[in-house]
Amino acid sequence: MNLYIKNVLSTSAVSEDHDLHGIPAAFAVVSLQQLTAFGLFMVGLLVLRCTPYKYTPKILSTPQEWLSVCLFSLSFTMNIALNNYSFVFIPLSVNLIIRSCLPLSTFISQQVAAQITGDRIKDCRACEMLCMLLGCLFAVVCVLAENNGTKEAAGDEHSHLLFGCIICIVSLFSGSVNLALAGVMGSSLSLNALDTTVYMSVPAAVILLPFTLYYSHPVGAQWAAYLGSETSTDWEIFWAVWKLSPLTIFLALLSGVLALGYNVLQYGIVQSLSATHTAFAGNFNKVATIMLALLVGLETLPEGYWGVLMLCAVFGNIGAFTAYNYLKAKAKMMDFEEEDLSPLEDSGCEEGMSSSSDDGGEKSS
């Protein structure tokens, strides 16, 4: 999905005469993806009604269930839309390395939620915290290497990189909340991964509508020259792309098909395993994506020793979070073993107490 959005959809030729490429309208694209996913689901639902494999989604019956869906849609919208929006300002590799810090943002979100709800604070050992902080430190080194190693990274470009990093970090925390709520949708609302994905699609598109129509954001020099303004709304860009290259709109529709499959798979993993496990597994995916992008020439390392430093930071990042994953899994295994032994220990204590009382009785008699 990241490679498709960044290097297919974003680089598709819209107008060779004006040197326009891609659709720099992240909010409109995400909205179109969700509407496409909903349309595909409805078509599939109608087709299956004519077969023995009729499918019926779970019906939401209470206001609390609808509210949960709306909150889940909001977190998803902030996660995906802001993530795609950050692609306008930062390279794919920087985006992925920041997103690899999802375990830390998930941990922070859990602590904040526990404070608000009065729930038990999630424990975290010192070694685990050290691994997470090291992973984030490597992510910062990677961003700095990308910034300093790129010749164009000066002046306005530097501010754009910083702004893109901030947007990506906000989407990171939104992603943590989204994964946590995905688990709730499965446990509390009994929605499977497919129903969860489809129910959020229309509310997500509605949430994005004001940003698509009214939010004016910076565009590239070529788009600014064509539109006659350095800032533009997603609707203005989308309408211009429709007039110049309808094929590019088709690529955006195709991304909706990929988004439907990706979301169903991701939420299925969350509901069958856990949000934390999904965040860990995603880190390997991100590193593989960076390596693939470098191998096929979609991304290039910064010049000089900055490139070596960035590559070391990437491997250091994944190594730190892998170590955290190992320590967390080992701690859970020890907790399970203690829980399994506790009934035996309790019964042993009871037997000991009863036998001591019996001995005491015999002695007294």
The answer to whether residue 268 scores a pLDDT higher than 80 is: yes
Instruction: Compute the average pLDDT of residues 285-303.
Output: 74
Position with higher pLDDT, 95 vs 116: 95
Give the C-alpha separation, 226 to 251, whole Å.
22
Residue 40: per-residue pLDDT = 92
The average confidence (pLDDT) of the chain is 78
Instruction: Return the pLDDT at 123.
Output: 59
The answer to whether the beta carbons of residues 71 and 196 sit under 8 Å apart is: no
Domain range holding 16? 2-340
* Residue 335 in tokens: 């907790």
Half-sphere exposure of 36 (CA within 13 A, CB side): 19
Instruction: Using a cut of 0.75, tell me whether the model's pTM lies above it.
Output: no
**The pLDDT of residue 279 is above 50:** yes
Give the residue among 202, 188, 182, 189 at the shortest CA–CA distance from 274: 182
The residue with greater pLDDT, 267 or 147, is 267
Identify whether 333 is part of a domain: yes
* pLDDT greater than 50 at residue 360: no
| Inter-residue long-range contacts of 87-90, CB under 8 Å, 24+ positions, other chains counted | 87/5, 87/6, 87/10, 87/26, 88/24, 88/26, 88/164, 88/217, 88/218, 89/160, 89/161, 89/163, 89/164, 89/167, 90/161, 90/164, 90/165, 90/168
- Residue 156 pLDDT > 60, yes or no? no
Q: Of 71, 152, 123, 141, nearest to 317 (Cα)?
A: 141
pLDDT-derived band at 36, boundaries 50, 70, 90: very high
Which has the higher per-residue pLDDT, 117 or 6? 6
In a domain, 350, yes or no: no
What is the tally of structural domains in the chain?
Answer: 1
Does residue 103 register a pLDDT over 80?
no
How far is CA 197 from each of CA 65, 82, 203, 254, 259, rounded to the nearest angstrom? 15, 18, 11, 17, 10
Q: Specify if 56 maps to a domain.
A: yes
- Give the residues across from 218 on adjacent strands: 231
Can you tell me the mean pLDDT for 328-341?
67
Give the pLDDT score at 277: 67
Q: Checking DSSP bridges between strand 20-21 and strand 13-15, what pairing results, if any?
A: antiparallel
Residue 203: its pLDDT value, please? 92
**Strands, E, within the chain: which ranges?**
13-15, 20-21, 216-218, 231-233
11 located within any domain = yes
Find the helix packing angle between 193-214 and 156-187, rounded to 10°.
Answer: 150
Which is it for the CA torsion 114, 119, 125, 131, positive or negative? negative
**Tokens 């889940």 -> residue:** 72
Q: What is the pLDDT of residues 311-323, one digit of tens each?
A: 888 888 878 877 8
Least confident of 16-20, 45-49, 288-292: 288-292
The answer to whether residue 174 is domain-embedded is yes
Rounded Cα distance between 13 and 19, Å, is 8
Q: Is there a domain that residue 349 lies in? A: no
The percentage of the chain sitting over the pLDDT mark of 90, rounded to a whole number, equals: 10
Question: Model confidence over 177-220: pLDDT tens digits?
Answer: 887 788 778 877 888 889 889 999 999 999 999 999 998 888 87
pLDDT at 86 over 50: yes
Residue at 131 is within a domain: yes
